[in-house]
Each structure stands twice: as structure tokens, then as C-alpha cells.
Structure 1
Amino acid sequence: MAFVLRVLLLLGLCGSASSTGQLTTTSTPGVLHYELPTMVYETQGTYEPGFLGPLFRMVHNFLQVVQPHDFPLDIVTKLIQRKFDISVDYKEPESVVLVLKVAFYEIGVLVCVLLGLLFLVFMPLVGCCFCMCRCCNRCGGEMYQRQKRNESCRRKYFALSLLVICMLMSLGIMFAFVANHQVRILIQKTKDVADSNFRDFQVLITETPKQIEYIVSQYTATKNKAFSDLNSIDSLLGGGIKDQLKSKVTPVVDEIKAMATAIKEAKAALENMNSSLQSLQDGSMQLSNSLTNVKNDIENSLNNSDCTSGPASRVCDGIRTSLSNLESNPGLSQLPSVDRELNTVTDILRTDLEALIKQRCALIDEIPDVVRNQSMIVVTDVKEVLNSISSDIHNISQNIPIEETLLELSGQLNNSNRLFYEEMPRLEEYDSYWWLGGLIACFLLTLIVIFFYLGLLCGVFGYDKRATPTGRGCVSNTGGIFLMAGVGFSFLFCWILMILVVLTFVVGVNMEKLVCEPYANKKLLQVLDTPYLLSDQWEFYLSGLIFGKPNINLTFEQVYRDCKRGRGFYGTFQLENVFNISDNLNIKKLTGNINSEFENLSVNIDNIELLDAQGIKVLRDFAQSGIDRINYPLYLNQTENAPTKVDLVAFSSSLETQANQLPEGTLKQSLNRNAQTIRAIHQQHILPMEQSLKALKQSVRILEHISDGLPEKVKEILSSLDSVQNFLTNNVSFIVIEESKKFGRMIVDYFERYLQWVLYAVTEKMTSCKPMATALDSAIDSVLCGYVIDPLNLFWFGIGKATVLSLPAVIIAVKLAKYYRRMESEDMYDDVETVPMKNLENGNNGYHKDHLYGVHNPVMTSPSRY
């Protein structure tokens, strides 16, 4: 018992994995994944009869008819409690009732046995009487056949009936031959099943050290993962704190950076705007002077005497009228300057707002380095705690008596295997005896059926309708003799075969109904789980046998069910009652040490001022810089106007056209020269001014966009800045504490997950006791029921069927033989209605050869006797 307990404890703590699958922690990337090495067991869990399955089911259906009652759970329980002795006091009412219940349950079997015994008694008795009567020429012993009108129909009916019965007998003999052959290969199948189960147990033993090694190595992997995270505390813990702050700070920082960029863009736009205005003012003045000079020159030319003539005067008048449009746009020179706004923005930019905000954000980016520097001592202490846990787990694995227990268990398996093979020759010898006896029984029935077949073959094919009973041929007579030989062998051997059928029937049907069926539906295990059944002092026998504690609810059915689904030894046999793995691997105790170390983790982060007073002043000064009060529509309207009232290119072309209408002379030449001068003015002054107008328009648009709602924008930024600053002032310490706890929980979770996996693997998956359930199934379901009981039942079913059918076969064969055998006397017939003549002088004791054998006016003669 001590050895069994040690083995169960060892397997429960260290065991091997089930072949059905393993526990995994999670499939999340970056998280440790635990999976025990998978064991592949060789033995199949269920028995498959193969092509003989329909035959076995046929026999089972017959047994269901013979024995339709359910498994007698209460009867079996009471019999076991009485130690199968119901004769202690047979006068007790309880004993009488029990006997009656047993008789009622076995009523079908008893009826079949009674019929078999009647067959066993009456078959040889009837055969003896039949033989004696035949020897005395009674019971059809005389070689004479009375002829009847339906002779042909009776003969055919008897032949067909005997053929059908012989075919059914042959089918039964085939069943018996097949069943006997299954018994022949029983030993080899048993060897294969036993070897497979031994190999499964050997795998269970040899893989146990690997499981322990795997468990220890997985702790090392878990510890290395924790060490890696501790070494990366700056990026994990510090990065977490930084990300928490960044999520709040980044929006307002982006807004301040955007405002700093807007200040720079406003300064550039104001500078461009001032430059464009100066260019326009200078250009407008130069343009006005140039146009005035050209205008004066044209007027002087028009005062020439050549303009007084009729055609020329009209041209000169038209030119003189258009000279009033040859002027510049006075509004461009009157646009106000933005020097004041530019000076204000320039003064604001003397403080680099973007540099200020970057400098403050750098303090947040430096948090991971601060965390690393301030947590070095705590990290070192946590690593020491993890190393101590590693030492504890290693010591637990070393303290288990693994080597000697495995050697002892391996020795027991080897001894069992050796004993099994030592007993195999004896089993093979017994198996050969049984096979030989079954073969003899099959051959005896086969001999009887062969005689019947030969009798039918010779009788049917040798029969001649025209032959008289005394003149039947040799083949027909031989058929009759074969039939009578079959009858004789039936009387001689069938009662002996019935003894074999009755004995095997009683054994087979009770084993099937009391062992195989209840084992299949697990009612047999329910019998074993009956309280106080196997021991008067133990309520639960299995727990009392293993632990010496019969009050623990440990049942055979529960153990079998758990082992069948691949549960581990520890959970199946409730080994926590002997060695509580939860106490030795106390998760709260082990992880509590880690938590206590992380409670000492303290990270101090100085107050972070996101933007000082100088930076806030920059924002407010920019909001009050006055760029939002610039009259941008005025500038935009002027940018839409041309520098001159008239298009100089068009005016010069018109002037040149009109000049060409004048006669050749000084006036014409002067006007053409003025037209060229106007074109030059357009190139020298108008085109640069148009570029300045375009640049002015672009700058105005930029400033207009920047200044749109500028005070409100700055006010919102300052409000957000105050909110974020309050958050940093009041919540930084809280964030540090929460992130520290989160980091500590992450480290602790590694070991909690590992220890929980160890507990689950040990209690549920490791050391799968499936080989035990498989071995039990192999012994009972496969070997006993599949290889022994099923072939045995099929054997007696086939032999019994053929033996029982031999009775009607005997009766029909006796009657049919009269139609095939050569008679010694016969009825005489004539072909006319005359009195038949008795011809005794010819010495043939029969008809005269000229007489015909028919059914017309038969008159029986006195039969001759030997």
C-alpha cells in the first residue's frame, strides 16, 4: 500500500501530459506560452470487432430476447455483501426473496438450459429406441414403401425442407468455425494489447523526468522574462508615465508650437507687405512722372501747325481727348504702412517661444532616465526575490523521491511483463485444447451436414420416376444410405454437442449480461461504489485503500471517467488529501513578496512648468500686436486695381494707329516715338508694380488668416495651458504611483500565470491516468469481452443452431430416405383394371417385367421379408 501511495503521489506531482492536448496560458504576443511535451499513447481506447461486428450484434440481440432484464444492481450488491453465500439461512425471508429475484432474473437462461437438458436426455433415448425399432423392422424398418397419389409432391417437399434446414445448419457451422478461428488468434491479439499497454506505462514512466525538467525550465524562462522587463524599467515604467503625461500635454504643446510658427509667419508677411508697399509707392511716383512727361510731349506735338489741316485736325483732336486717361492710380501711393505692427511682432520674436516649449517638453522626455536612476535598488531587490523563488522550486523538485520511485515502478512493470510472458505458454496450451475441441465439434456437425447434402445430391440426381421401388438405381440408393448415415451420426453425436452448447451458453450469457454489458454502461462500477460493499468499515473502498481514509468521496466510476478523458492523477485520485500542492506553491505568499518589494518603489518627478511667464507674455503680446486691426479689405481692394487708368499697351497701339493716319512729317514721327515711350514705361514700371501688387495680396491674405480670431485663439490656448498645468501639478504623483503599480502587477502576473498553470497542469493534465483506463478497457472490453466472450457466444450460437436443427433434419431425412433407397417389396399395378397377379415363380419377389408401376388400381401383395 505504501508503494501504491508513493507512486500515485509521485505521478500526481510530476506526471506526464495527456495525449489529448495541453494547457496554454494565452495566445497574446509577448506573453509566455506554456505547453507540456505531448505524449502519444499507442493503445486504442475502444475495441472494434471489425467485420464480425454484425455477427456479434446478432448474438447480442438473441441474448436480449433470452435475457431482457436490466442489470440487477440490487441483487449483485446483496450477493457481494453476503459474499455470494445465500445458503446461510435459506429460511430467512430475505434469502428466499433474493433467491426468487435471482431465479426471475435468470428465467430466460433457465428455460433455455431446460430445453437443452431435454434435448440432451431425449435425443440419445429417442435414438436408441429408433435404432432398436428399426432393427426389429418397426418404425419403417421394413424395406417397403406404400405408394400414395401425392408421392411426388411429398418427395419434393421433404427434399426442399431438408435442403433449407441443411443450409441453416451450414450457416450455424460457419459461425462456429469463425468463432473458433477467433479463439485461435486470441493469444496473439492479447499479446499485442498487453505489449501496447506495457509500452504506454513505460512511456508514462520515462517521460516523468522530462516533465519536471520542463516545469523548472519554464520558471527560468518566466524569470528571464521578468528580468528583461526589470532591465527595461525605463522604457516600460518611465515610458508609461511619459505617455500618460504626453497624452495630456501634446495637444496644447502643438497649439503653442503652431502659435509660435504663426508669429514667425506674421513677421515674414508683415515684412513682405512693407516691402511691397514701399515698392508700390516708389513705382507709383516714378510712373506718374514718366506719364506726365509723355503727356506733355504729346501735347506739345499736337500744338504743331500740322494738326490744323482738316484730316489731321480730327486725328489730333481724338488724341488730345484721350490724353486725360494717361495718368497713374493715386490710391497705391496712399496705402498706409504697417511699420508699427511689424516692430511689435519683431519685439515679440526676440523671445523664442518654440524653444521655450521644447525645453519644457524635454523634462517630460527625461522621465524614463529619472525612473531608471531612482529604481535601481528596488530592481535589484526584486531580482533577489525571484532568484529565491527559483531556488525554492528547484529544491521542491529535488526533494521528490523521483529516481528510486521510478526505478521501483519500472521494476514492477518489468516483473509484470515477465510474469505475463511466463504464463503465455500455458495459456497457449489451453487455447489449443479449446480450439481443438471446437474444431472437432464443428467437424462432427459438418460430417452430419455433408451426409445430408450427399444424400440429397445422390437422391435428387439419381432418382428415376419410371423406376419401381425395388428397381431404383445405385445412385439413388446411395443417397438414401447417406441420409440414414446422417441420421445415425445425429443421434450419436448431437446430444454430446448439446452438452457443450449448454455449458458455453450458461457461461457466455451470464458473462455478457453480468460483466460486459454493465461494464459498457458503467453499472458494474456503480456496484463497486456502493458504500460498505467491499468492507464493512469503509464507506468508500477506493479512498480507504489508497489513503486509509474511507470517508473521502472517491469512487471507481469517477476515477474511470476522469482517467478516460485524460485527467491527471492528482485531480483524479484527489491527492490533495495527502500532499496539498496549493500549500507548497502558495501563489499569494510567493507573489506577495514581489508586491512588497514594488511597494518600496518611489519615483519622484519634479514639478513640470509647461510654459513660464515670459512665454505666456509672448502669447498675450501677439494677441495685442494689432495685426487683427489692420484694414485688410483696403489693401485687397487696391491690389485689384491697375497702376494706371488705361492700359498703356492698348493706348500706345491706338496712338500708333492714329499717328499712321497722319501724313509723313514731324508730327507723325513724334507721335510714333511717344507710342514707343509708353510701351517702355509699361515694361519699366507697370510690370514691377503688378508683381508688387501680387506679393502684397499674398501677404495680406496670410496676415488676414493669422489674425482671424487671434485674441480668442490665444485665450483658448492660455485656458488649455492652465488646465494642463493644473493636471501636471496635481496628478503627476498619482500617475507615477498608478504606473508603478501597473508595472509591478505585470511582473507579478508572469509568476501568477506560471504558478496557476503549474497548479492546473498538476491537478488536471499532468500524469494523465488515461493508460489506466485504457488498460482496464483492454482487459475487460477488448480481451475478456471482445476476444473471449463474443467469440464464445458466437460459437455456442452457431453450434446450438446447427444442433437444434438436426432434430427436424433427422425426421425429414428418415422420411425422405424411403423415396431414394431400393425397396425389397412393392405394390403391384397393372395398366388395365384387372386384379394384379402375384408372380412368385420368377424368383424376383416383385412385379413381372411386363407390368407397369403406376397409380392405377393398386393392389398390395404380401411383402417379402429378409
Structure 2
Amino acid sequence: MARTFVFLLLLLLLLGLCGNPVSGEPPSSIDALGDLDYELPETNYETQDSYKPGHIGILFQMVNVFLRTVQPNDFPEEIVRKVVKKMFESSINFDKPENLILSLKILNYEIGVIIYTLLGLLFVILMPLVGCFFCMCRCCNKCGGKMHQRQKENGPFQRKCFAISLLLICIIISFGIFCGFVANHPVRNRVKRTRTLANSNFKDLRTLLNQAPEQIQFILAQYNTTKDKAFSDLNGINLLLGGGIQERLRPTVIPVLDEIKAMVTVIKETKKALESMKNSLQSLREESAQLSSALTNVKSSIQNSLSDPACSVRPSSETCNSIRTSLNQLESNLDLNQLPPVDGELDSVNDVLRTDLDGLVQKGYQSFNDIPNGVQHQTKNIIADVKGMLNTIGSSVDRVTQRIPIEKTLSTFAVYINNTESYVNSNLHKWEEYDSYWWLGGLVVCCLLTLIAIYYYLGLLCGVCGYDRHATPTRRGCVSHTGGVFLMVGVGLSFLFCWILMIIVIVTFVIGTNVEKLICESYANRKIFKVLDTPYLLNENWQYYLSGIIYNKSDINLTFGQVYSDCKNNRGIYATLQLDNRFNISKQLNIAQHIESINNEFENLNVHLSINLLDAAGRTNLEDFAACGIDSINYAPYLSQTGRHPARVNLLSFAYDLEKKANHLPPGNLRQSLKREAESIKMIHRLHIIPMEQSLGTLRQSIKTLQHITHGLTGRIAKIITTLDSAQNFVTNNISSVIKDEAKKYVRTIAGHFEQYLLWVDFSIREKMVSCTPVATALDSAVNVLLCGYIIRPLNLFWFGVGEATVFLLPALIFAVKLAKYYRRMNSEDVYDDVETIPMKNMENGNNGYHKDHLYGIHNPVMTSPPK
């Protein structure tokens, strides 16, 4: 039987190999680019990967605590190895010393189980004998069989103690019965749950078998995504390669061109300022002459008016003299003749502007911006060749994936899956019939214990409720007597059936304990796999049993524990079963060769670019502008003149003062004439002074602009020319290396897409493709759920509950026998002739003395009067 069990376990583990387990992580290079995101579609499975017993799990844990007390030893790996090895031997000689030592080790490991089993067998042997002797003894009016109860002082106390003790024991028995019912209840639907679990697992296993071609097609489809990305980058070589070259040159080229462009603006602003300055000077000269002429005329007119005879008469003479004295203020205040003209500087600037420096700068910008188009134009043929070569990689990947032996391996396991499913479905009805017998037997056992407990409870209920402490033993009530009878019935049933129940407990205890400790716990902590993976254990010619079965090469390190662990961690079947021993995917894909082919196609990538930032005419133009002399203009005289007022006096103030003085003159021609002259002065202010002030402001602004523009102009232009020469030299000398570096980056980008894809293909086929999680789940379902969860743990809870209740029947029947004396109606009772001998306590309780009559064992009570 043990050998059959080992073969069954191996079959379950081999079935687990249908899946693929191992934990692996994608190589870091896959995520190096991050441009493409590959991921195999996730497969959803029905079967849960963990088993939860629910609320009954607390009871299972309680039983496990008891089992650890009974069997505290760790899993005996060495013993199991030796036992399995002996099982495969043709004959076993127990006389050999090593066999004897092995037997002693087994006994030492099973010492706890053996002790409890012996105690149970002792219980089975003694309880029928004790019951038989107890029955015969009572038939002989011994062992409490005589219906006579002696009166004791502590009788009421004993009765209460016996009742409470029996009640507590019955509660403990009831808990054991409850555990038995709870353990027996799931048996009815165990086959139904097993069928659901089996169907779910087989469905998941078939999903595993069917996903291989789907995942292969998905992997191949991702090549189109990669190719489309690569083609997009190839078509965008102007932006990727050309743009890269531009970005490398931009920090050197663009600032220089921007400075030259800014200098073009400076030149234009200089011309504008010089023209404004020239126009302002010319306008001021003309307006200054007109102002001088107008002031001379008005001055002469006022002098003529002051020659009037009225000016010789006091007090008009004083006013006239005051006016005459102020006439020397009516003169121009500007001396523009000392200001040199700017015609020469303006002509020089115009000569500079005859060269289209702005157009020359735009040509520099254009040559820089034409880099992408130049790159694309020069790489047309190479791009076409690369596209053709990339198409061949897809065909290579297709051939490799079609040759992977995963589908062939899975088809082999599909036969085992179909046979196992047929076997399970064809035998489930038989298992259901066996479970019905199991459930019925468990129900009978629990009901029998329940019946005994009910008799005890009824006995306690009737005895306690019907007991009358004033009634004598021979006069007890019917209810109390019935309670005592119930107790004795319970005692009889206990003697009759407890040894049978103990036999059931012993058998289930030995089976359940050993299976739980040797299989369930060792499966949970994976120690059973360590035993099965022992070299040369299952086959003396094979170092590793699995590799011997799968590859017929026992030296490949393929173990049960590794396979189960890999499947549990959702690893692919290729890595789990180490199929690289049959088909090396890395060698077949030959990633390095494909990448080298891509790099070879780009070896002929030669791009020549000519970038001229500014030609000789533009350079000369800048030098001419620096030499035009505007930075040597002396602006102090100009600023000095622009700071003056056009006239020596404020004409408006002078006119108002003249009107005021004229009003002090007597009415007449003189007064009217002076007022007219005052109005003429105001007109001169409006016609000449205001425009001249505006021209002076414009001139001053032009001078300030020129001062700002020409400040350090020669140094700025020299710096621009130096920077221009440096930038041009950098572009001329380094353009080839820049192109080469950027071309390498571009090639790495294109090759990186396919390297990323090929690495992902290698990783996916190894680690993710056809993940064997359903296999580990199926194995968990077979061992952890079906064997341990559905069978062994309920079985352990059953014998634990029934065993507890059965063991406690022994003290229960003792207390029940003792307690029945206090509830049953006796045939005789104690009688006392001497009243003084009656204990005071009995008198206090209402007990009277009785005459003893022991003739023939029949006692007729005779009431005697108590002493007065």
C-alpha cells in the first residue's frame, strides 16, 4: 500500500509538470530604450490559487495544535528517503542491522502516535471488560446495584458536586460531538465541490495548452509594431539624424548668427539716427534764421513805437525807458554754426548698407536649417537597403518560433490530462457513493454520542428539577426517579458503544495524523520535494528523476521542487522544463548577428554638409561699419546746444510783461501799438519757438541713440568677427565628427528597437510564454485542497471530536452512577432505633429515625416519633 501511495504522489507531481514554473525578470537592456512597450496578454484562470476553509479553520488549527503535541518531530526526510529506497528493492530483509536501525528510527518518530494508539487500544480492551464485570456485579447487588442508600452528613454536598461535574463533562462531550458534526457535514457535498474544482482545473489546463499558438502569434505580431517604429525612424532620418546634428551645432552657430543679425539692426538704427540728426540740424538752422529775423523786426517796430512824444512825459517816460532797456533780450540764443555736419558719417553708413548684410545672415540661417533635408537626400539609397534587410529579420523570428518544442511538449501532456479527466469523471459517482457511506457512518457515530449525552442531560434535568430534599430515599418522586433511570441508561449505552467508537477513533487517528504530518505539512513547507529530488532515489540509475523521464538525461538539474516553485511563480514552460537543453532559443535567435547586420548596413552612411555662416562680403561689411567713424563723433557741442532755449528770453513772459507795462501808459496810439507788438511776440513764440523746441528734442534723442549705439561699437564688432571665425572653424573642422557621432546614435536607435524586440522575444519565450501556473494550482488542488482540505483535516477534526467525547464518557459514567443513587427511588433506607444516634444534621433536614429490618433484603420503613 505504501508503494502504491508513493506512485500516486509521483503521478500527481508529474502531472504538475504540464505547467511551467520559475521566477525570472526581464533583462535590464529590454527597458533601456523605453520607446516600445511589449507585454504578453494576461491569461485569466478560474481556479483560485489558495484554499480557505472559512470559519471551520479555527477548529482545524485547534486540531493541529494537538497534533503538534502528539507528533512534535520535524519531517523525517532521511527516514522517508530510506523507506522509499527500501520500497523499490525486490526484497526486504528485516534482519539486517540497517533495517533494524531504520525500524527503530521510525518507532522513535512515531512514538507519540504509538503511545496514544496504545492508550486507545487499552481503552478498547478494558471498557468492555469493565462494563461486563460492572453489569454482573450490579446483578449481584454489588457496585451500587443494591437499591439502598446510606445517609451521610456530606450527602447533599456530594450530590451537588456529582451533578456539577457531570454537567461540565457533558458540555465537553457536547463540544466533541459538535466537532464531529461539523467535520461530517461537508462530506455530503464533498464530491460536488471536487467535481467543480476538477472541472475548473482541467479547464485552466486546457487554457494553458491552447495559449501557446496564440502567444506565438502575438509575439510575431509585435515584430510588425517594431518594424513600423523602425520604418518611421528611417523615414524621419531628417529629424532624428539631421536634427541631432543641428542640436550639436546650435550652441555654436545660432548665437553668432543672432549677434550678426542684431548688428544689422544696429546699422539700420544708426542710419535712422544720423538722418534724424541731420534733418534736425538743418531744420534748426532754418528756423533759427527765421527767428532772428522776426525778433529783429519786432524789436525795430517797438523802438519806433517808443519814439512817440508821449514817452517824453513823466511817468510814461519811465515805462518807455524800461521797455527800451529790455529790447536787447529779443535775440536768438542758439549758435548752430559751430556744430559740424554728419553728412560724412551718414554717407559711410549708407555705403555699408549697400551690401545686403541681412540677406547674408539669412543665408547662414538657411544653410543651418537645410541640414535635415541634406541628410535625407544623401541617405535615400541606404534607407531603402536597411528597410529590405529589416524585413528579413521578421522571417527569421517566424522560423525560430515555429521550431520551439513547446507545443510538442504540451501535446504530450495533453494526453495525460485527457486520461486523468476521464478517470476522474468516470469514478466520481463511485466516490460519491463512498462519501454517502462515510457521511452516514459519521452521522450514526455522532448521533449515538448525542443520544448518550441526551440521556445524561435528561437525567440531570429530571434529577435536579424533581429532587425533593425533604423526601426520603424510598419516597422520592417520579421525576427524580426518572432522572436516575436516564443516567443509568446513559451509563449502559456508554459501556455498550464507547469501545466501538474508540476503535473508529484509533483507525482515523493513525491515518489522519500520519497523512497530515507526512504529506500535508511536508507539502506546505516543500520538504517532500527535497525527498523526491534526492539523486538516485526513485531510480538508482538516474541522478535527477525528472530529467531522466523528460530528456533521458539524468544529469540535467531538473527537480520537482524547482518545477513546482517555478510554476507557482508563473514562469514559462521553456525555462521551467529547461527546454534549452533541447532547443537553445538564444542561439537560434542570434540577437548579436541580427544587430551586427543592421550596423553593417549603416557602414556606408556618408553625409557631407557645407555650412557657411557669413561670406567675405558680409565680414567686410561689418569691418566697414566699425570704421565709418560714428564712434568718434563729439556729441558734447550738440548736447550743449540742445540744452539751450531758442531765444535769450521767454517770449511769452516777455509779451505778457510788455502788455502789463503798456497798460500803465495813458490811452493812445503808444499804448495800442505796444499791445500789438506783444501779440506779435506771442505769434513768434507759436510759429518759431515751439517748432524749434521740438526739433531740439528730436536732435537730443537722436544724439542719445547714437551715443548708445556707438558705445564700444568697434569692440563689439571685433568680438563678433572673432566669434564668427571661431564658430566657422569649429563647423569646418568638426562637422565630420559630429555627423559620425550622431550617425552612431541614430544607428543605435534603429538597432535598439530590434534588439529590444529580440531580447523581449527571448525573455518571453523563456520566462512568460505558456505560464504553467494552472499546473501548480492543479497540484495544490489535488494535495492541499482535495486530499488535505476536503479529506484529512475534516477526518482529523472528526476523530478529535469523537475521541474527546468518547474519552470523557468514562468520567461521565462514573459520576452518573454515583449521581443516580441520589435521584432514584430506593427499596430500603437507613432506620435508627436510638433517637440519640440520629445525626443532628439529619434531623435538621427532616430525616427521622427508622427501624432496621434486614430480613431477605426487604425493608419496611416504620415511622418512629422523634424524642421530645
Q: What corresponds to 1:617 in structure 2?
A: 620
2:656 to 653, 656, 669: 653
Q: Report the Cα distance in structure 2 between the residues aligned to 1:308 and 1:324, rounded to whole angstroms.
A: 21
Q: What corresponds to 2:450 in structure 1?
A: 446
Q: Report the Cα distance in structure 1 between the residues aligned to 2:470 and 2:26, rounded to whole angstroms.
A: 82
Q: What corresponds to 1:793 in structure 2?
A: 796
Q: What corresponds to 1:369 in structure 2?
A: 373
Q: Does 1:737 align with 2:740?
A: yes
Q: Does 1:583 align with 2:582?
A: no
Moved more, 684-693 or 474-483: 474-483
Q: Report the Cα distance in structure 2 between the residues aligned to 1:860 and 1:204, rounded to whole angstroms.
A: 92
Match for 2:722: what amino acid?
Answer: S
Shift of 1:443: 1.7
Match for 2:517: what amino acid?
Answer: K
1:263 to 257, 264, 267: 267
Q: Report the Cα distance in structure 2 between the residues aligned to 1:176 and 1:670, rounded to whole angstroms.
A: 143
Q: Does 1:162 align with 2:154?
A: no
Q: Report the Cα distance in structure 2 between the residues aligned to 1:70 and 1:584, rounded to whole angstroms.
A: 47
Q: What corresponds to 2:866 in structure 1?
A: none
Runs of at least 5 residues in structure 2 that lack an aligned partner in the other structure = 1-11, 859-868
Q: What corresponds to 1:840 in structure 2?
A: none
Q: Report the Cα distance in structure 2 between the residues aligned to 1:401 and 1:766, rounded to whole angstroms.
A: 12
Q: Does 1:762 align with 2:765?
A: yes
Distance 1:154 1:7, change over 3 A: closer
Match for 2:814: what amino acid?
Answer: I
Shift of 1:767: 1.6
Q: What corresponds to 1:862 in structure 2?
A: 854
Q: Secondary structure at the match of 2:143?
A: coil
Shift of 1:87: 8.7
Q: What corresponds to 1:247 in structure 2?
A: 251
Q: Report the Cα distance in structure 1 between the residues aligned to 2:16 and 2:716, rounded to whole angstroms.
A: 78
Q: Secondary structure at the match of 1:207?
A: helix
Q: Secondary structure at the match of 1:42?
A: coil
Q: Does 1:318 align with 2:322?
A: yes
Q: Report the Cα distance in structure 2 between the residues aligned to 1:162 and 1:304, rounded to whole angstroms.
A: 160
Q: What corresponds to 1:236 in structure 2?
A: 240
Runs of at least 5 residues in structure 1 that lack an aligned partner in the other structure = 837-850
Contact 2:148–2:826 (CA<8 Å) still a contact in 1? Answer: yes
Q: Secondary structure at the match of 2:487?
A: helix
Distance 1:481 1:293, change over 3 A: same
Shift of 1:790: 0.6
Q: What corresponds to 1:723 in structure 2?
A: 726
Q: Report the Cα distance in structure 1 between the residues aligned to 2:631 and 2:535, rounded to whole angstroms.
A: 98
Q: Report the Cα distance in structure 1 between the residues aligned to 2:477 and 2:373, rounded to whole angstroms.
A: 123
Q: Secondary structure at the match of 1:763?
A: helix
Q: Report the Cα distance in structure 1 between the residues aligned to 2:96 and 2:228, rounded to whole angstroms.
A: 75
Q: What corresponds to 1:153 in structure 2?
A: 157
1:350 to 350, 354, 358: 354
Shift of 1:66: 1.0
Q: Secondary structure at the match of 2:725?
A: helix
Q: Does 1:634 align with 2:634?
A: no
Contact 1:237–1:740 (CA<8 Å) still a contact in 2? Answer: yes
Shift of 1:471: 2.3
Q: Does 1:214 align with 2:218?
A: yes
Superposition pairs of residues 70-469 of structure 1, within 5 angstroms: 70-83=74-87, 88-399=92-403, 410=414, 412-469=416-473
Match for 1:204: what amino acid?
Answer: L
1:686-742 deviation digits (Å, cap 9, x = unpaired): 111111111111111111111000010001000100100101110111111112111
Match for 2:710: what amino acid?
Answer: S
Q: Secondary structure at the match of 2:542?
A: coil
Q: Report the Cα distance in structure 1 between the residues aligned to 2:401 and 2:837, rounded to whole angstroms.
A: 117
Q: What corresponds to 1:568 in structure 2?
A: 572
Distance 1:486 1:140, change over 3 A: same
Match for 1:575: what amino acid?
Answer: L
Moved more, 45-54 or 19-28: 19-28
Moved more, 409-418 or 139-148: 409-418
Shift of 1:829: 3.9
Q: What corresponds to 1:806 in structure 2?
A: 809
Contact 2:23–2:570 (CA<8 Å) still a contact in 1? Answer: yes
Q: Report the Cα distance in structure 1 between the residues aligned to 2:95 and 2:722, rounded to whole angstroms.
A: 106
Shift of 1:547: 2.1
Q: What corresponds to 1:668 in structure 2?
A: 671
Q: What corresponds to 1:600 in structure 2?
A: 604
Q: Secondary structure at the match of 1:295?
A: helix
Q: What corresponds to 2:9 in structure 1?
A: none
Q: Report the Cα distance in structure 1 between the residues aligned to 2:760 and 2:262, rounded to whole angstroms.
A: 53
Contact 1:43–1:197 (CA<8 Å) still a contact in 2? Answer: yes
Q: Secondary structure at the match of 2:69?
A: helix
Moved more, 234-243 or 166-175: 234-243
Shift of 1:410: 4.8
Distance 1:446 1:32, change over 3 A: same
Match for 1:120: what amino acid?
Answer: V
Q: Report the Cα distance in structure 2 between the residues aligned to 1:630 and 1:858, rounded to whole angstroms.
A: 159
Q: Report the Cα distance in structure 2 between the residues aligned to 1:10 and 1:475, rounded to whole angstroms.
A: 70
Q: Report the Cα distance in structure 1 between the residues aligned to 2:93 and 2:18, rounded to whole angstroms.
A: 48
Q: Report the Cα distance in structure 2 between the residues aligned to 1:455 and 1:305, rounded to whole angstroms.
A: 166
1:527 to 521, 531, 547: 531
% of aligned pairs identical? 55
Q: Report the Cα distance in structure 2 between the residues aligned to 1:734 and 1:599, rounded to whole angstroms.
A: 15
Q: Secondary structure at the match of 2:857?
A: coil
Distance 1:863 1:116, change over 3 A: farther
Distance 1:417 1:659, change over 3 A: same
Match for 1:742: what amino acid?
Answer: K
Distance 1:529 1:413, change over 3 A: closer
2:831 to 828, 831, 843: 828
1:749 to 747, 752, 756: 752
Q: Secondary structure at the match of 2:831?
A: coil
Contact 2:230–2:750 (CA<8 Å) still a contact in 1? Answer: yes
Contact 1:23–1:35 (CA<8 Å) still a contact in 2? Answer: no
Shift of 1:557: 1.9
Q: Secondary structure at the match of 1:65?
A: helix
Count, aligned residues = 843
1:627-674 deviation digits (Å, cap 9, x = unpaired): 111112221221111111101111111111111211122322221222
Q: Report the Cα distance in structure 2 between the residues aligned to 1:170 and 1:21, rounded to whole angstroms.
A: 58
Q: Report the Cα distance in structure 1 between the residues aligned to 2:757 and 2:716, rounded to whole angstroms.
A: 55
Shift of 1:856: 6.0
Contact 1:543–1:553 (CA<8 Å) still a contact in 2? Answer: yes
Match for 2:155: what amino acid?
Answer: E
Q: What corresponds to 1:848 in structure 2?
A: none
Shift of 1:358: 1.0
Q: Secondary structure at the match of 1:461?
A: helix
Match for 2:654: what amino acid?
Answer: F
Shift of 1:514: 0.9
**What's the RMSD between the two structures over aligned residues?**
2.8
Shift of 1:806: 0.8
Q: Report the Cα distance in structure 1 between the residues aligned to 2:604 and 2:288, rounded to whole angstroms.
A: 79
Match for 2:809: what amino acid?
Answer: S
Contact 1:18–1:765 (CA<8 Å) still a contact in 2? Answer: no
TM-score normalised by structure 1 residue count: 0.93
Shift of 1:184: 2.2
Q: Report the Cα distance in structure 2 between the residues aligned to 1:783 and 1:829, rounded to whole angstroms.
A: 71
Contact 2:31–2:756 (CA<8 Å) still a contact in 1? Answer: no
Shift of 1:91: 4.1
Superposition pairs of residues 467-478 of structure 1, within 5 angstroms: 467-478=471-482
1:758-798 deviation digits (Å, cap 9, x = unpaired): 12222222221111111111111111111111100111111
Contact 2:24–2:571 (CA<8 Å) still a contact in 1? Answer: no
Q: Secondary structure at the match of 1:330?
A: coil
Q: Report the Cα distance in structure 2 between the residues aligned to 1:336 and 1:510, rounded to whole angstroms.
A: 123
Shift of 1:488: 1.3
Q: Report the Cα distance in structure 1 between the residues aligned to 2:28 and 2:366, rounded to whole angstroms.
A: 47
Match for 1:723: what amino acid?
Answer: S
Q: What corresponds to 1:818 in structure 2?
A: 821
Match for 1:34: what amino acid?
Answer: Y
Q: Secondary structure at the match of 2:609?
A: coil
